Structure 1
Amino acid sequence: MQKYFKFKHQKRLVMNKGLLAFALVTLSYAVSAQPVKKGTQKSPNVIYIYADDLGYGDLSSYSATGIHTPNLDKLAASGIRFTNGHCTSATCTPSRYALMTGKYPWRKKGTGILPGDAALIIPTDKTTLPKLFKQSGYHTAIVGKWHLGLGEAVAKDWNGEVKPGPNEVGFDYSFIFPATADRVPTVFLENHQVVALEAKDPISVDYKNKVGDDPTGKDHPELLKLQSSPGQGHNQTIVNGIGRIGYMSGGKLARWTDEELSPTFLAKAEDFIRENQHHPFFLYYALTEPHVPRMPATRFKGKSGLGLRGDAILQLDWAVGEILNQLKLLGIEKNTLVVFSSDNGPVLDDGYEDEAVERFKGHAPAGILRGGKYSVLEGGTRVPFIASWPGTIKPQVSPALVSQIDLLSSFSKLLNRPIPQGDATDSENVLDALLGKSQKGRSVLIEQGITELAIVKDGWKYITPNNGEAYMPLVGIETGNLPEPQLYNLNVDAAEKNNLAAKYPEKVKELAGLLDAAKQKKYGIYREQR
């Protein structure tokens, strides 16, 4: 009898444990099935918005008077407007490489401006900006311009899976065009596939030899709605009435119209935000404006009074405003850090006769700065740089020296996720500056023009002697090249008007030595502890 009761008691315990386990599983499922309440997510969302060829003086929040950018002004007023924020390079591909890898692009061959058929230049086995977030449990996406290469080689099949690419370097979702809007192929890629591609109309791309029967801008200028600027090469395959760089055939249904680029990218970005509103996400939203060809949606044409470039900036400002409105509508604006910047300085005439030069008289796209896109002068790399996180970042203007190359290490600190040794070696942790807790950023920054380099330390800037042309007549920009050393005190002379090299030879020697040391090493010479 005693054995019977003992057995019955044990059976009851087993049944109770089973019921308890079942209840716990059921409860866990029920909890996980419930939508997360607004405001309960702790990890901040991060949106990085990247303009293309936008200058330091192109926003009204940066003292532009010829154009009004209310949405970006609102973003700046709600957070930090940096007056000394930089990309690493005065052209697009190198700056994007530095952003993604945390390494200076001049350390690696093949990181100059890429053609549309280039192979991927971002390593798939190293820490990248999106991979850092993905490893921290974030959902990650890129929407917009890529221009960092695709596939393992130049020769690739655009009609199958095009990879490796953004997905292989850390993005869960990608909706991009391969290079820039002035280069073929003029198609969207969603993850690994060309959107709307028909099997009966395969794509072929070549940057050396003409393919297919499509007319070119060179042979048929009468078909162009935007004429190519003389000597700049935007006169090959015509798509949407615009001559491009490179030759393309096929993919007729898949080809975009330029006026739809910005609305399409905006819709995809908004879809990603909405679908991930209850989960931490990182969105790299890479705008196309105001890069050539400037062909904004009809609603913006003629609105700026500054020609198509001004109209494109208005479209850019509108797109940013739509993202900010969505964050507020979803109730996640206080849990979202938004960083806005540009990949390099401005240029007016960069391939097409769109009245940018004629209409922009009286407006200074680089503000008080000399130079612009392609230049090692400040106008090449000092760009609008804004960080906003309502309720966390106090509104302010900051003189801290910050660079896009530092976002990797700074977000590593934010996420409390260390970067493996040997990765992101030029990136510094400037999180306190990005969050407005300090007005001190990095102390040393190396700036890159087309080929020449400059180094900035504690406000002093040294530009290496260079026998290249001092002025690029095709685009109307000072390069910063001179055969003698240049030294500027940016603390009092951001416009780089007074060359002090002859007056301070010891400072020239010091900075030249630091730059030489940086070139010889594979890592940064002045890095803060991560």
Structure 2
Amino acid sequence: MRRLLRLLLALSFASAAAGVEPKPNLVIFLADDLGWGDIGANGSDRVATPHIDRIAAEGIRFSHFYAPAAVCSPTRAGLLTGRNPFRLGIYTYVPNRSPMHLPRGEPTIASVLRASGYDTCFVGKWGVNGGLTDPTQAQPGDLGFDHWLATQNNAEGSHLNPGGFVRNGRPVGRIEGYSAQILVDEALQWLRARKDPARPFCFFVWFHEPHRVIATPERFAAPYRARFPGRAEARDESGATEGKLPTIADYLGNISHLDHQVGRVLTALDELRAAERTLVVFTSDNGPIAPGSSGGLKGGKTRLSEGGIRLPGVMRWPRRITPGQVSDVPVGSIDLLATACAMAELATPPTDGASLLPLFAGEPLVRATPLFWRNAAGEAALRDGDWKLVARAAKGGAAHEARDVAGAEPERIARMRAALVALHADTQRTAPRWPESALPRAKNRSAENN
């Protein structure tokens, strides 16, 4: 036994002498309905987001960062799995008690990392099944998370004292406080209470903010009240008024409060001396609704025009990303699974994404599958380099892009159209089929519900 102990100690010292580094950590922040123009790093002069901006300044900002979809549930499924959500049967937002769910056993970022020795945690809006206590559907724990605190959809009531929380399969109901603060409290408590702090960690913070119904601590809304005294109105595509929104000050303060909670996590990483070896990602699930800002991009939530799917995307990893980089290469959250696997030096499951590690090093990105999208409104889109094709099943004009140049490049358009048709057919080969009742009724398909 003593010889064995001496051998183990010798191996341990040899590893330390060889400079074997622990595997890097991963933190993924996901905002809800935050537009491309809703952070300072993308040029907004109306809202203060110093901590999100810090991630960009100390890392890389992607000017063309895309969601896998234009609404919440498909984006969440695509981010988790690195696969187009239509492959997974997540066609639109998943309402409460829906049979639609992410398949059990589908590889996710969390499951792949957990299998290689990572501690994993999820807090926030889950959105990829119809019920967090339904034993027939995969839950966060089944998809790779050791610890989780989640709501099935939005914060019940509002962001203040929200309800509907389930922790590790047990309903806990309403929790006092503001949603973003509740989630970060839970994540940091988990992070600091881990039994073996030397193990690598991966945790997701998927905020409910700034999805309405808005509730904002006054200290974050107050700085905006003098400059933005008004209240915007939401309008549908015909221009008809749908209803009044929160005050603009409350909305902007909501984003600043979210940003403050991001800052708490960054501070904790500094205190734990983990920041240098942690990849931090911040993005959103889809484009904004009023009074959110797409930063001048056409369209918004639910649409495949740029304002619906092009979002904030900033990352920091001090040991691998040179500070202050800006990339205009089209990438997205569909790429995070491949990136996480490359980061941890693991084999990558089948994916529609690509590892972003080459971009971190200033090298070209190799993408086997083009970025492509579908939505429940019958639109489909494909991005190929500087070109984007948007096809619409319904009659109508151009799909809200900057310029319609299809007539000038017929061969390119024909090639992109063929690729889009082939990709769509491929996604449907093995996609689950749900009863029609699983899809949200038309009257409930508004941006308010997802």
Alignment TM class, shorter chain as reference: 0.7 to 0.9
Contact kept, 8 Å, 2:123 with 2:150, in 1: the verdict is yes
Deviation at 1:441, TM superposition (A): 5.9
Q: Distance in 2 between matches of 1:392 and 1:120?
A: 39
| Deviation digits for residues 64-111 of structure 1 (CA, Å, limit 9, x no counterpart) | 011121111111100000001111111000000111122211234453
Matches within 5 A, 1:94-493: 94-119=74-99, 121-149=101-129, 164-181=138-155, 186-195=163-172, 254-256=173-175, 259-276=177-194, 277-305=197-225, 306-348=248-290, 356=291, 365-395=293-323, 396-420=325-349, 423-424=350-351, 426-433=352-359, 435-438=360-363, 440=365, 442=367, 444-451=370-377, 452-467=379-394, 483=396
Are the structure 2 counterparts of residues 379 and 187 from structure 1 closer, same or farther at C-alpha, using a change threshold of 3 Å? same
- SS of 2:402's equivalent in the other structure is coil
Q: How many angstroms apart in 2 are the aligned matches of 1:78 and 1:111?
A: 36
Q: Is the 8 A contact 2:41 2:56 kept in 1?
A: yes
| Distance change >3 Å, CA 325–CA 441, structure 1 → 2 | farther
- CA gap 1:505/1:335 in 2 versus in 1, 3 angstroms: same
AA in 2 matched with 1:407: L
- Equivalences for 1:512-523 in 2 at 5 Å? 512-522=417-427
Query: Could you tell me which amino acid in structure 2 is paired with residue 343 of structure 1?
Result: D
Q: Is the Cα–Cα contact under 8 Å of residues 187 and 194 in structure 1 kept in the other structure?
A: yes
Matched residue type, 1:191:
N
Query: Does the aligned pair in 1 maintain the 2:117–2:199 contact within 8 Å?
Result: no
**Cα distance 1:164–1:511, how it changes in 2: closer, same or farther (>3 A)?**
closer
> 1:54 Cα shift?
0.7
What is the distance in 1 between the residues matched to 2:97 and 2:84? Answer: 23
Equivalent of residue 56 in structure 1, options 32, 36, 42: 36
* Higher normalized contact order (CA 8 Å, seq sep 6+, divided by chain length): 2
> How far off is 1:382 after superposition?
0.6
CA contact (8 A) 1:295 1:308 kept: yes
Cα distance, 1:178 vs structure 2? 1.6
The residue that corresponds to 1:200 in the other structure is none
CA gap of 1:22–1:437, structure 2 versus 1, over 3 A, is closer
Deviation at 1:497, TM superposition (A): 2.4
Aligned residues of 1:430 and 1:441 also touching (Cα < 8 A): no
SS for the counterpart of 1:303 is helix
Identical residues among aligned pairs (%)? 30
CA distance in structure 2 between the aligned counterparts of 1:374 and 1:514, rounded to whole angstroms: 23
Deviations 1:29-66 (A, max 9, x none): xx99xxx9xx9852111101111111111111100011
Question: Aligned-residue CA RMSD in angstroms?
Answer: 2.9
Q: Which amino acid letter does the alignment assign opposite residue 269 of structure 1?
A: A
Quote the Cα distance in structure 1 between the aligned partners of 2:203 and 2:35. 23
> What's the CA shift string for 1:91-146, capped at 9, x where partnerless?
00000011112221123445311112234612222311111111111011101111
What letter is aligned with 2:119? H
Alpha-carbon spacing, 1:22–1:371, altered in 2? closer, same or farther (3 Å): closer
**Contact 1:380-1:449 at 8 Å conserved across structures:** no
The one-letter amino acid of 2:422's match is A
Change (3 A) 1:485 1:73: closer
Q: Which amino acid aligns with 1:267?
A: D
Q: Distance in 2 between matches of 1:298 and 1:126?
A: 42
Task: Supply the distance in 1 between the matched residues of 2:90 and 2:401 (Cα, whole angstroms).
Answer: 30
Instruction: Report how many residues are paired.
Output: 394
Highest Rg: 1 or 2? 1
Q: Is the 8 A contact 1:46 1:281 kept in 2?
A: yes
Query: Structure 2: where are the runs of 5+ without partners?
Result: 226-247, 430-450
1:302 match: secondary structure: helix
